[in-house]
Structure 1
Amino acid sequence: MAIPRRDLWHTRLVSVLKVLLPLIALVLLSTLFLFSRKINPEDAIPYATVDVADRLRDPKMTDAGFAGMTSDGASLTVTANEAKPTAAGGTMKRVLGTLQTPDGAKTELVSNDLALDTATKVIELSNGAELQSPTGYLIQAQGFGVATANTRVESRGPINATGPGGQLTADHMLLSKQGGAGPYLLVFNGKVRLLYQPNR
């Protein structure tokens, strides 16, 4: 019995494809290796942009910060571009801080330098220290001492301030809680002078 031509053609096609398709696959694979781009090790993604040897000699953290809560319920958060550990606690550079009391009032703090003393539980802000009070006063001083255990911010030396009433100078400034259930008050004392400017 003779095999129909149609079945014979189909059988021959399958036989040819069995040989041809693997050959095409081999050719494609070989071209991948022949024409592939060479890898340049210098193009690798830099996982670290810091000098490791420098970090080992001088340990520090970048984009550092800490947060805490005082005994009277105020929250204190501090962020800095750089922080280093010390025997007394630590130092920070280019500092931004926020002290928020339970009544919702926010006091903003700025300085170029910060020193944390864990023994006295005080952070010292210096070198361009400024305080923005919730009542609208911008206060500048040589430095500010900020307690971490309770709400207390005290100027180091005399202050210069500008606010809703005008320009003010004083020998000392203190932000603290008055008594157990009293309010939070910003007090200027010593030789206080106010240049009243009602239109400010």
Structure 2
Amino acid sequence: MSRYDNPYSRFVALAKIVLPLASLAMLATLFLFARGREFEVSIPYAEVDLEQLAREQRLEFPSFATVTRDGSQLELAADIVRPDLSTQDVVNSNGIRGSLRMPGSGTVTLKADDAVLDGPSRIAELSGHVEVQTSTGYLIISERVATMLDVSRIESPGAVSAEGPPGTLAAGSMEISQDVESGDYLLVFKNGVKLVYEPETSEE
């Protein structure tokens, strides 16, 4: 039996490194669904502490990028990413930052405490304190925001509060998406919208 001890020990040691790497690498595949002809993925494997990764099964400060089907550039970064051991192709993240650059239509930036990235569903569920900032001057705050990974679509199915050029407002939901007919990207507040109009004051 002793002649099998060393190969088996080497196999176990290798598995402790390879398996967590494979699990965390699944996150990168989430962004390959978007478009086959043009994408970019950046994962700082060279900076990973393999001993820590094998022990804690997490990746620190990863960043990812892709191009959606409608031509927008989506980028996401996180402080920490961990695989969901109970569900394949799903990862949990903390300290999320991101941006969606739409062709000819400005930029939307994202910040959130936490996120769950679901590969099969092609969606990132942001939660906690979520901030959505548009280049048109709106700051939207919600407890939950969903971002699609293959198309330009950001929505909050629950209540949101916002500040923008017209003033402050509250709504039951919010959606940023591309209009099918015009091709324009629209920010729409829905379900019981309340606006407090704040007219600009002119200085004499």
TM-score clears 0.5: yes
Match of 1:56 in 2: 54
Match of 2:176 in 1: 175
The structure whose RCO (Cα within 8 Å, separation 6+) is larger is 2
Query: Offset of 1:85 from its aligned partner?
Result: 2.1
Q: Higher Cα Rg: structure 1 or 2?
A: 1
Query: Offset of 1:156 from its aligned partner?
Result: 3.1
Q: Is the contact made by 2:124 and 2:147 (CA closer than 8 Å) also made in structure 1?
A: yes
Matches within 5 A, 1:36-55: 52=51, 54-55=52-53
Q: Is the contact made by 2:105 and 2:185 (CA closer than 8 Å) also made in structure 1?
A: no
Amino acid at match of 1:84: R
Match of 2:71 in 1: 73
Q: Is the contact made by 1:85 and 1:91 (CA closer than 8 Å) also made in structure 2?
A: yes
CA–CA distance in structure 2, aligned partners of residues 117 and 49 of structure 1: 23
CA–CA distance in structure 2, aligned partners of residues 181 and 120 of structure 1: 27
Match of 2:131 in 1: 130
Query: Offset of 1:56 from its aligned partner?
Result: 2.2
CA–CA distance in structure 2, aligned partners of residues 180 and 78 of structure 1: 29
Deviates more, 1:80-89 or 1:66-75: 80-89
Question: Percentage identity across aligned positions?
Answer: 32
Match of 1:142 in 2: 143
Query: Offset of 1:84 from its aligned partner?
Result: 1.4
Pair 1:110-2:108 in alignment:
no
Secondary structure of residue in 2 paired with 1:94 = strand
CA–CA distance in structure 2, aligned partners of residues 115 and 49 of structure 1: 21
> Runs of 5+ in structure 2 lacking a partner?
1-46
CA–CA distance in structure 2, aligned partners of residues 55 and 179 of structure 1: 44
CA–CA distance in structure 2, aligned partners of residues 197 and 137 of structure 1: 14
Q: Is the contact made by 2:142 and 2:161 (CA closer than 8 Å) also made in structure 1?
A: yes
Amino acid at match of 2:166: G
Match of 1:192 in 2: 193
CA–CA distance in structure 2, aligned partners of residues 73 and 51 of structure 1: 36
Q: Is the contact made by 1:142 and 1:156 (CA closer than 8 Å) also made in structure 2?
A: no
Matches within 5 A, 1:3-18: none
Secondary structure of residue in 2 paired with 1:182 = coil
Secondary structure of residue in 2 paired with 1:198 = coil
CA distance 1:148–1:180, change in 2 (3 Å) = farther
